[in-house]
Amino acid sequence: MNQILIVDDDPGVCLFMEEVMTSMGYAADHARTLKKGLKKANSAPWDIIFLDVHLPDGSGLEAVSEFRKTPSAPEVIILTGEGSADGAAQAIRSGAWDYIEKPVTPNTISLPLKHAMEIRLARKAKSGPAPFKREKISGDSPELSDCLAQAANAAGSDASVLLMGESGTGKELFARAIHDNSPRAKGPFVVVDCAALPESLVESVLFGHEKGAFTGATKSQAGLIREANGGTLFLDELGELSPSNQKRFLRVLQERRVRSIGGGREDAIDFRLITATHQDIDGMADAGSFRKDLLFRLRGLTISLPPLRDRQGDAQIIAMRSIEKYCTRFGITVKGFYPEFLEALVRYRWPGNVRELVAAVEAAVIHGKDEPLLHPIHLPVHIRANLAQKAVRGSTPPLEDPMDQDPGTILPHSQYMQAAEKRYFKEVGAAASGTINEICRLSGLSRAQVYRLIKKHNITL
């Protein structure tokens, strides 16, 4: 029997929904707090979780990904008594199946539930995914596995793919993996780094030019779009395209034909397009610096790659693979490592993501070439300095109140601001008599922000 979990602090809602679930032939249970809901989600298999937004101990919106990461990877349907456009967008981006406003009725919940269950069961019944070649993509975290599943689906189609993520998260590796697993694998894979091309050359490099088309054009060039014919064109850092080149590229996508600068004919082109950016491309489109009609064409499928700091356990896997790779490359015996070495890799936040980690391991192998075991001392200085700084800060417990110190003592800015924020929320909570709505009114913050800060500072109202 399919399992449904309802996480809502309203007993009436829980009872009503359990009755509806039972009448539809599902087994249902409920939890009244976020903590209890997560505990139940981790202790039993669930197919669907109905999750309220405003819970006594936190925001359901901010916990969607936590529920999705539980062992059975359930689908999450958000329930809210105060629907908002921003909340709906946040829910979907976090992986929610749907966003339903209260009051709930059998009609409003039965159809989303039925469809979510049908698709979930169809996926379970599938014989198994085709092997996906991912030799250069290391890691087995749930976050990475989800992206690989999306990439495998993308490889089976010819739709345009937009890869989003911070610098160093492996967007080009994913683009190449999609190409290598697609029917176009035997065709060319052409990379265009828009950020590395001077604006004056982008048009010529992309579309090609005829001899004599402009000063310096001593011979004709086909252009990278023509070179990608029959294969895949990977357009990296697409946010760097100028408005004029965006317009021309949009026409190429619509017509699937390209004309060289100075040319008199258009050639038909057959290529698969994959684009990537680390920028807020939606924000750029809203601000008018990126064409919305082009963005619609580019994002047939969108894959958001997680930063390394959110991929639990992957840093160690990537590090060990990189140690072997660089020891082999430099002709030395594969090295072991002290436990402190892996601990350092876990504690560091890796703002440069996988690219920074791989470079750090390469440097460690070079620095420690004469020692059998790698130690944090072999890591680059900026990483060691960052970890030492964190260790010193972590050894000093934050003050309950920034005023509780000896006169003349100056706290670090972050410590002072944290203590001041906690003191402020205690005062607001007292003035509001512990009422969430009144705290929101007095502070000007949303309920989700209030719940997050209350949880952050462990404040009891």
- In the structure, what pLDDT confidence band is assigned to residue 243 with cuts at 50, 70 and 90? confident
Contact 55, 28 (CB under 8 A): no
- The answer on pLDDT for 445 being more than 80 is no
State the pairing for strand pair 257-258/267-268. antiparallel
Mean pLDDT of 412-437: 74
Q: How many CA atoms lie within 13 A of 420 on its CB side?
A: 7
Q: Angle at CA 371, nearest 5°, toward 365 and 376? A: 60
Question: CATH classification of 142-306, choosing from 3.30.230.10, 3.40.50.10330, 3.30.2130.10, 3.40.50.300?
Answer: 3.40.50.300
Per-residue pLDDT at 404: 54
Per-residue pLDDT at 231: 94
Q: 210: Cβ–Cβ under 8 A, 6 or more apart, which residues?
A: 217, 220, 260, 261, 262, 263
pLDDT tens for each residue of 37-46: 999 998 888 9
Question: CATH classification of 3-125, choosing from 3.30.200.20, 3.40.50.2300, 3.40.50.10470, 3.40.50.620?
Answer: 3.40.50.2300
Mean pLDDT of 420-428: 78
Per-residue pLDDT at 329: 94
Mean pLDDT of 370-379: 92
- The answer on pLDDT for 397 being more than 60 is no
E-state strands within 246-384: 257-258, 267-268, 272-277, 301-304, 336-337, 373-374
Parse the chain into domains and list their residue ranges: 3-125, 142-306, 309-394, 413-457
Top pLDDT among 126 and 159 is at 159
- The answer on pLDDT for 359 being more than 70 is yes
Same fold yes or no, 142-306 and 309-394: no
Contact 233, 192 (CB under 8 A): yes
- In the structure, what pLDDT confidence band is assigned to residue 393 with cuts at 50, 70 and 90? low
- The answer on pLDDT for 215 being more than 50 is yes
- In the structure, what pLDDT confidence band is assigned to residue 400 with cuts at 50, 70 and 90? very low
pLDDT tens for each residue of 63-96: 998 898 888 889 999 988 877 788 888 888 888 8
Mean pLDDT of 420-429: 78
- The answer on pLDDT for 127 being more than 60 is no
Mean pLDDT of 199-212: 79
Give me the architecture of the 309-394 domain, per CATH. Answer: Orthogonal Bundle (1.10)
Highest mean pLDDT among 31-35, 80-84, 174-178, 299-303: 174-178
For the beta sheet containing 189-193, the strands, ordered from the edge strand earlier in sequence to the opposite edge, are 189-193, 232-236, 272-277, 161-164, 301-304
- The answer on pLDDT for 398 being more than 90 is no
CA distance 329 to 352: 23
